[in-house]
Structure 1
Amino acid sequence: MITVRKMLQQALRVSGRSAFPLAKWMERWAEGAAPGVEGTKVAKSLDQMPGPSVASFAYDLFAKRGLSRLHELQRKGVQRYGPMWKASFGPIFTVHVAHPTLIEQVLRQEGQHPMRSDLSSWKDYRKLRGHHYGLLTSEGEEWQAVRSLLGKHMLRPKAVEAYDKTLNSVVDDLIARLSFCRSPEGLVSDIASEFYRFGLEGISSVLFESRIGCLDQVVPEETERFIQSINTMFVMTLLTMAMPRWLHQLFPKPWSVFCQCWDYMFDFAKGHIDQRLTAEAEKIARGEKVEGRYITYFLSRMGLPMKTVYSNVTELLLAGVDTISSTMSWSLYELSRHPDVQTALREEVLAVLGHRKIPAAADVARMPLLKATVKEVLRLYPVIPANARVITERDIQVGGYLIPKNTLITLCHFATSRDPAVFKNPDDFQPSRWLTKEESHHPYASVPFGVGKRSCIGRRIAELELYLALARILIQFDVKPDPEGVSVKPMTRTLLVPENVINLQFIER
């Protein structure tokens, strides 16, 4: 325990946080995870771990629309089996972990090159078409090299701040789009689809430094098709991963549709990349100086094979869209139903901006309620309801069980972030819970962007886009609920999305 105390002292000097809860969490982790500690019990095997039978789990998944209710099955799993259980999903065997201390144990033992879930169908498609892997599908040193390169431009705060003008330009068009789409009563139907276009336009601006027309009054046909391809691909991901490969021959449609979607997404990204790089080559030929701050520019200047550039940009395009669409939709859905929070948030934004109308990245640091609101929305509606890890280097101990290397471990973020033992009134929207020093939470209780090396590479850009858009919308509009009072619940579509359309009123201020 001497090493643990040294780690604790160092952590407290860096964080300045209250010593008691952090000490307890680290001591519990050390006692559960460190091999050879005196008094620890012999680790149990996976055979001793509880869990449903193959038939029972298949019934939950398919007879009860379980594929769209995977997030709810997490909570049922905790009720039935406790914080750890095993299950087989088609050809996939996984250990579910649904407690913050256990998630911490997994992530602290993930090694130098952590591996997420296999995404086997995504990799199978790339092998079939001869594409390279991108940041979401590559592993090991290949993944580490690209991750380190992109981290310089997507994770460093100062580098991200440089995108605020680009993103504010996209927010300008979003405000105009919302005004255009409103009914005479101010109602905007299916706001998630509007924010989906906003998210795609924003990430395209960062990746290409050019606009693709998502927020035009008439959206270009190729852009609309790209959006539909992303939606369909995520639905087909669950089906294709659940089906053994030999079933693709008997039931070819899911795999065929899946490949068609990816074909179009790769073609779409490649077309925009080639167009941009061709324009730059022409400038160089004319003796003009070429500079850029967009991600494709940096990737293309690092000597990477163009197939690697295409794969990474394609995966980054689809990775950023759902985060923006879902979080924006749920944020305004909850704010419309909590007018007191909406009023307080608007007052905070206006107080920081003074006479200005457009916030900059530097302003966000002085908007704690805005940041708490987004954090609370991501706790209630994590875009990825379950993440995964495959520890490839060695066997590990988690929660008293020995988990062999190469075992898929599902981290149940939805169940953990709504655990009443961790969060009071866990199903209630309460941004203030992140502002009260007396109400501390386990640091792994809500980790919507992941933790460590495999955390979301686009987190800071996504957060900045969310902050700028929410602030501008609240300055421009009073956001009110759908007059019909429709309540909307989340559903799983690989990602967590609204089950029904969200309609809101945007009343000009």
Structure 2
Amino acid sequence: MIKAIILDLFTGGIHTTSTSLDWAIAELLRHPQAMKELQQEALKTGQGRSMIVEEELEKMPYLKAVLKETLRLYPPLPLLVPHESTQDVKVLGYDIPSGTQVIVNAWAIGRDPSKWEGPEEFRPERFLNNSIDYKGLHFELIPFGAGRRGCPGIQFAMIINELVLANLVYKFDLEMVGDDGLDMSETNGIAVHKKCPILVSATPCS
């Protein structure tokens, strides 16, 4: 049982992590100024060393803002994991009987214009000097769910996300290949991937 739980954690964490990184890189390629700012932060943090390590991630607020904004726009599981009410409750005037399957649309919450200014725009700056986090305490941003049934792999997934993205922009200049633009279409499924893969040229930073 323990081995099965660990396998679920790693499998789920790796799958959703790769999806989030895909979307983050796509948005950074679409927004060169954000890419430049993140790269400057990475270069300042790394200071010429071979790589950025986990202990240095706390020095990278813009990196964290980029990933929060990515999770807001593209939660890996847009409808989260189905839940079931354990007792009769009333929510916003709706009666929800015990045993009802409840599905939370995290994608719609992250793009709610009553909660977010310019909800369809990629603006990492909105999370700078802002206490909103993805750990389930702020219900306007719940890509990992919230409460007792929140994702147990938050820490694992986010450290991997931060380390990979930080070191990618630290070591390489990333550019799109071709002049066809970037297709941001989504696939259908439990986890939402990009419909078309990104073709990127990675040039080592000099």
TM-score normalised to structure 2 length: 0.89
User: In the alignment, which of 187, 194, 197 is matched to residue 491 of structure 1?
Assistant: 187
2:79 matches 1:390: no
Match of 2:11 in 1: 318
Gaps of 5+ in 2: none
2:165 matches 1:470: yes
Deviation of 1:436 after TM superposition, in Å, equals: 4.6
Rounded Cα–Cα distance in structure 2 between residues aligned with 1:316 and 1:437: 29
| Per-residue CA distance 1:482-504 (angstroms, 9 max, x = gap) | 42213122223111111222222
Deviation of 1:446 after TM superposition, in Å, equals: 1.4
Rounded Cα–Cα distance in structure 2 between residues aligned with 1:423 and 1:350: 31
Match of 1:356 in 2: 49
Rounded Cα–Cα distance in structure 1 between residues aligned with 2:43 and 2:71: 24
Rounded Cα–Cα distance in structure 2 between residues aligned with 1:391 and 1:400: 16
Q: What pairs with 1:136-215 in structure 2 (closer than 5 Å)?
A: none
Deviation of 1:450 after TM superposition, in Å, equals: 1.4
User: In the alignment, which of 16, 21, 28 is matched to residue 335 of structure 1?
Assistant: 28
Rounded Cα–Cα distance in structure 2 between residues aligned with 1:418 and 1:491: 18
Describe the SS at the equivalent of 1:397: strand
2:123 matches 1:427: no
Rounded Cα–Cα distance in structure 1 between residues aligned with 2:25 and 2:51: 19
Q: 1:426 to 1:352 in 2, by over 3 A?
A: same
Q: Which amino acid aligns with 2:128?
A: L
Rounded Cα–Cα distance in structure 2 between residues aligned with 1:438 and 1:494: 29
* Equivalent residues of 1:333, 1:481 under 8 A apart: no
User: In the alignment, which of 97, 109, 123 is matched to residue 404 of structure 1?
Assistant: 97
Rounded Cα–Cα distance in structure 2 between residues aligned with 1:477 and 1:503: 15
Rounded Cα–Cα distance in structure 1 between residues aligned with 2:156 and 2:17: 10
Q: Which amino acid aligns with 1:496?
A: V
Describe the SS at the equivalent of 1:507: strand
Aligned residues: 200
Describe the SS at the equivalent of 1:496: coil
* Equivalent residues of 2:78, 2:192 under 8 A apart: yes
User: In the alignment, which of 126, 140, 144 is matched to residue 449 of structure 1?
Assistant: 144
Q: What pairs with 1:68-107 in structure 2 (closer than 5 Å)?
A: none
Describe the SS at the equivalent of 1:491: coil
* Equivalent residues of 1:477, 1:507 under 8 A apart: yes
Deviation of 1:348 after TM superposition, in Å, equals: 1.0
* Equivalent residues of 1:386, 1:413 under 8 A apart: yes
Q: 1:438 to 1:368 in 2, by over 3 A?
A: closer
| Per-residue CA distance 1:78-104 (angstroms, 9 max, x = gap) | xxxxxxxxxxxxxxxxxxxxxxxxxxx
Deviation of 1:438 after TM superposition, in Å, equals: 11
* Equivalent residues of 1:397, 1:403 under 8 A apart: yes
| Per-residue CA distance 1:276-309 (angstroms, 9 max, x = gap) | xxxxxxxxxxxxxxxxxxxxxxxxxxxxxxxx13
Q: Which amino acid aligns with 1:427?
A: E
Rounded Cα–Cα distance in structure 2 between residues aligned with 1:438 and 1:309: 35
* Equivalent residues of 1:488, 1:502 under 8 A apart: no
Q: Which amino acid aligns with 2:70?
A: V
Deviation of 1:377 after TM superposition, in Å, equals: 0.4
Describe the SS at the equivalent of 1:402: strand
Rounded Cα–Cα distance in structure 1 between residues aligned with 2:28 and 2:98: 44
* Equivalent residues of 2:39, 2:170 under 8 A apart: yes
Describe the SS at the equivalent of 1:497: coil
Q: What percentage of residue pairs aligned between the two structures are identical?
A: 30
| Per-residue CA distance 1:432-475 (angstroms, 9 max, x = gap) | 01115599xx9211111111221111111111111111111111
Deviation of 1:353 after TM superposition, in Å, equals: 2.5
The structure having more radius of gyration, on CA atoms, is 1
Deviation of 1:360 after TM superposition, in Å, equals: 2.0
Moved over 4 A (4+): 436-439
TM-score normalised to structure 1 length: 0.38
Match of 1:216 in 2: none
